[in-house]
Copies of this chain bind each other. A is one copy, B any other.
Amino acid sequence: MPAAAHVDFSTLETPVALLDERRLERNIHHMQTAVNALGVRLRPHVKTAKCLPVAARQREAGGHGIAVSTLKEAEAFFAAGYDDILYAVGIVPGKLDHVRALRERGCALKVIVDSADGAHAVVEAGRAAGHAFEVLIEVDVDGERAGVAPDDPALIGIGRLLHEGGAVLGGVMTHGGGSYHRFGHDARVAFAEQERSRCVQAAQHLRDAGLPCPVVSTGSTPTALSAHDAAGVTEMRAGVYVFNDLVMAGLGVCRVDDVALSVLTTVIGHQADKGWVLVDAGWMALSRDRGTQDHPIDQGYGLVCTEDGTALDDWTVSAVNQEHGIVTRRDNATSADVRERFPLGSRLRVLPIHACATAAQFSEYRVLTNDGRLETWPRFGGW
């Protein structure tokens, strides 16, 4: 079903980040329902939208605390009344004064470490300031990024350093980023179980060593929506589900018409002999993300839709410069009628490959509201 086709976009100067409130709320409801059914709390990761009205909807739906990827997000959301915040990027000594300042203002900001060096730095900074930081240990469940392996003896050493050094050992957390490479339902279910079992295993090792581990935090959009079991987990974090995107659709985590974010663009020209349509959305608007490059269906820099949001499944943005996008048929067949089909000045929408990256290129969302109006919701960026 075309989304909010009755809204008049004609006065908007393109490119514009359009957000479909109906799809947004459906996505939020879908994730909250899935995580509720597992009997754990959902901690939305607000790095995707960086937008207060979006986070408010996640909280109203039942979200419990938030995760952030920068201290700027922590500042902005704390100022808006969010006081249970997990900073989900490994902490470094140079940011601990900032973290402490937030905590002393009343923000229950938690940090993560995955090494004895990190734990030592937190303990030292805490001692120097007479402050007890709250720390989760990051666990590596898939070898893709950060974290200590659950069976690495270093885990207990890190826990002991923190606990005995005066920090609050809040528990363990992991991000199963490997879920982004698992195609098909069964592979996702298996990966979700891998994420769960390894993170719970780490928690058990800490408890067996006499250390506290109240929180076991897992999650990613694919695993949160695929897990059959959350035994031992206390909360799940997920971010991109709020908008969804073509990576999620390509993995089978959502449908293309669950993608709530799109970029409104205008046709600026043609190279008809090649079947090219040039639009005013280049990488500055779409981002350079090529996250579907290794998918069965490569969506280029984005899937093209008509102005009312109907996907044109054969048409993608196949190349980008800073403010130019080149729209072609996916099969590279030339279409001699591109001038007639996509006239100069006509509007298209482009669905994002990676919503976090595309959204980051904009300072505001133009929102197609449920009641057919156009609202502006600000978004912040930077550090």
- A-to-B contact residues, CB < 8 Å: 10, 13-16, 47, 69-71, 89-95, 98, 114-115, 117-118, 121, 140, 143, 145-146, 177, 266-271, 274, 278, 280, 283-285, 287-290, 321-324, 326, 339, 343-345, 356-357, 360-363, 381-383
Chain B residues whose CB sits within 8 angstroms of the CB of A117 once the complex forms: 339, 343-344
* Contact in complex: A92, B145 (CB < 8 Å): no
Instruction: Identify which of B15, B287, B288 contacts A383 (C-beta below 8 A).
Output: B15
User: Please, how many angstroms separate the alpha-carbon atoms of A115 and B90 in the complex?
Assistant: 53
CB-CB nearest 6 A-B residue pairs: A288-B288, A90-B268, A117-B344, A93-B345, A69-B323, A90-B269
Chain B residues whose CB sits within 8 angstroms of the CB of A284 once the complex forms: 69, 360, 381
Chain B residues whose CB sits within 8 angstroms of the CB of A143 once the complex forms: 271, 274
User: Please, how many angstroms separate the alpha-carbon atoms of A71 and B13 in the complex?
Assistant: 10
Cβ of A74 to closest chain B Cβ, rounded Å: 12
Cβ of A158 to closest chain B Cβ, rounded Å: 12
Chain B residues whose CB sits within 8 angstroms of the CB of A266 once the complex forms: 92, 94
Chain B residues whose CB sits within 8 angstroms of the CB of A290 once the complex forms: 288, 290
Cβ of A337 to closest chain B Cβ, rounded Å: 14
* Contact in complex: B363, A382 (CB < 8 Å): yes
* Contact in complex: A114, B345 (CB < 8 Å): no
Total identical chains: 2
* Contact in complex: A146, B89 (CB < 8 Å): no
* Contact in complex: A146, B69 (CB < 8 Å): no
Quick one: closest B residue to A272, CB to CB? B115
Chain B residues whose CB sits within 8 angstroms of the CB of A357 once the complex forms: 283, 288, 322
User: Please, how many angstroms separate the alpha-carbon atoms of A162 and B376 in the complex?
Assistant: 38
Quick one: closest B residue to A140, CB to CB? B271
* Contact in complex: B344, A92 (CB < 8 Å): yes
Quick one: closest B residue to A343, CB to CB? B117
* Contact in complex: A344, B118 (CB < 8 Å): yes
Cβ of A312 to closest chain B Cβ, rounded Å: 20
User: Please, how many angstroms separate the alpha-carbon atoms of A141 and B266 in the complex?
Assistant: 24
* Contact in complex: A326, B145 (CB < 8 Å): yes
Chain B residues whose CB sits within 8 angstroms of the CB of A70 once the complex forms: 323
A/B interface sample: 30 pairs, CB < 8 A: A13-B95, A13-B98, A13-B383, A15-B383, A47-B323, A69-B284, A69-B322, A69-B323, A89-B280, A89-B323, A90-B280, A92-B268, A92-B344, A94-B266, A114-B269, A115-B270, A117-B339, A121-B344, A140-B271, A143-B271, A145-B326, A146-B271, A146-B278, A284-B360, A285-B383, A287-B288, A288-B288, A322-B356, A363-B381, A363-B382
Chain B residues whose CB sits within 8 angstroms of the CB of A118 once the complex forms: 269, 344
Quick one: closest B residue to A287, CB to CB? B288
Quick one: closest B residue to A353, CB to CB? B288
